[in-house]
Amino acid sequence: MDCPNLIPGLPHEIAQECLIRIPYDYFRSVRHVCRQWKQEVESAPFRSLRKETGMAQSVVISAQSEPSIVTAGEQNNTKSYTASGPIVYRLSLFHPDTGRWGLLPMIPGMPIGMPLFCQLATTGNKLVMLGGWNGETWAATDWVFVYDFTAGTWRQGAPIPGPRRSFFACAAFENLVFVAGGHDNDKNGLKSAMVYDVSSDTWTPLPDMSIERDEPKGFFLNGKFVVAGGYITAEQGRFRRSVQMFDPVNWTWDPVEENWLDEDVKAINSCLAVDGKVYKLKDGRYVAVREGDTWRIAAEVPADARMTTRLVTAGNNRLVVIGGGSHGVLPVAYVATEEAGKGMTWQRWDVPMEYWGHIQGICSMEL
């Protein structure tokens, strides 16, 4: 069906103002109204307009285990899990503006839930899942799957080239997903890197990093792909404080920067960039921020969110912390907003029982 105007009788700009207010989880229905609506909600300018007008919705996506049996104690809000079979991971959604939780559809044909230790990245209206271990065999995979939030569908992408790698750095910029480091099936650290073009479904090799980096963290900072921390094969588990950045414009790696991270290098998995600033968790109880060449404490994590804590961005320069106070205490989510001269303020959200499972990977996007 064709519509001569987005909404009959309304100017195009007014019709756009109406469409950008539609919640993202209705997009899959909206795109079937007519060809013009489909083109509109799938376009990059539409997504940009939602962000510019404050209509974009922030979503936190996590690869989270599904608790088989959950029992809650009557005192101290304690909880316990009893596993009745293999651990199954699925993709859960947390909406930091409303505290609402939900689930993404499972990948069709996946043997047992999501791959263990898979990497997640977002670009535009798409979520990209890369690698991980087969839930049945625990073998490393080269799988790539892409979820389109507008269409509400999964598609399989071109497999990751080269050796099957685990625990690699991963980050997205514009329509590209960058991958670097990790280790192969023989536990040898890797210094190879590559980039996946989501639109063309193609992989392109990058120059090698200066050293191998197993279990590094990847994120983008000021237009460069940062591969932070990790360790070399000969120093298993001895995480380094150095980083190396890839410049996509010049297609080269910058020199290694030593002592770029703070001393708490094992918390590197929480490292992320927001509006040109780099944040990470420190000692399990603080949010630290890098300013210039030094790190400072930006805020103290609320006491009931300091165990197995995850840190992720939430749009509008906000941070989300998901964790528990101590072993056996109910999980909780906090949204942090930082204001100049006022520090961070925290908004608390309870986590429903269905989403108490362990979180392995986490990312966020604005739709």
- The CATH number linked to 163 is 2.120.10.80
Helix (H) or strand (E) holding 282: strand 277-282
CB atoms under 10 Å from CB of 25, counted, come to 15
Can you give the pLDDT at residue 63?
94
Please compute the mean of the pLDDT values over residues 208-220 and round it to a whole number.
97
Residues 12 and 115 in one domain: no
Please compute the mean of the pLDDT values over residues 214-238 and round it to a whole number.
94
Between 242 and 357, the more confident residue is 242
pTM: 0.90
Residues 362 and 238 in one domain: yes
Residues 120 and 257 in one domain: yes
Residues 65 and 24 in one domain: no
Q: Report d(CA 268, CA 301) in Å as an integer.
A: 17
Q: Is 341 inside a domain boundary?
A: no
DSSP for 104-131, written as a single string: PPPPTT-SSSSPBT-EEEEETTEEEEE-
Q: Report d(CA 21, CA 358) in Å as an integer.
A: 34
Q: Is 233 inside a domain boundary?
A: yes
Lowest mean pLDDT segment, chosen from 142-151, 180-189, 342-351 = 342-351
Q: Please say if the pLDDT value at position 14 is more than 90.
A: no
Can you give the pLDDT at residue 18?
85
Q: Please say if the pLDDT value at position 74 is more than 50.
A: no
Can you give the pLDDT at residue 275?
87
Q: Please say if the pLDDT value at position 82 is more than 80.
A: no
Q: Please say if the pLDDT value at position 160 is more than 60.
A: yes
| Residue of 104, 106, 124 lying closest to 115 (CA atoms) | 106
Between 260 and 40, the more confident residue is 260
Structure tokens belonging to residue 179: 């991958």
Please compute the mean of the pLDDT values over residues 47-58 and round it to a whole number.
89
Can you give the pLDDT at residue 155?
97
Q: Please say if the pLDDT value at position 234 is more than 80.
A: yes
Residues 171 and 33 in one domain: no
Q: Please say if the pLDDT value at position 226 is more than 70.
A: yes
30, 56, 82 - which closes a domain: 56
Highest mean pLDDT pick, 48-52, 119-123, 235-239, 289-293? 119-123
| Residue of 249, 151, 246, 148 lying closest to 201 (CA atoms) | 148
10, 32, 56 - which closes a domain: 56
Residues 30 and 179 in one domain: no
Q: Is 45 inside a domain boundary?
A: yes
Between 34 and 205, the more confident residue is 205
Q: Is 247 inside a domain boundary?
A: yes
Residues 144 and 76 in one domain: yes
Mean pLDDT for all residues in the chain: 88
Can you give the pLDDT at residue 75?
40
Residues 78 and 191 in one domain: yes
Please compute the mean of the pLDDT values over residues 257-284 and round it to a whole number.
87
Q: Please say if the pLDDT value at position 193 is more than 60.
A: yes
Domain that holds residue 41: 1-56
**Number of domains the chain contains:** 2
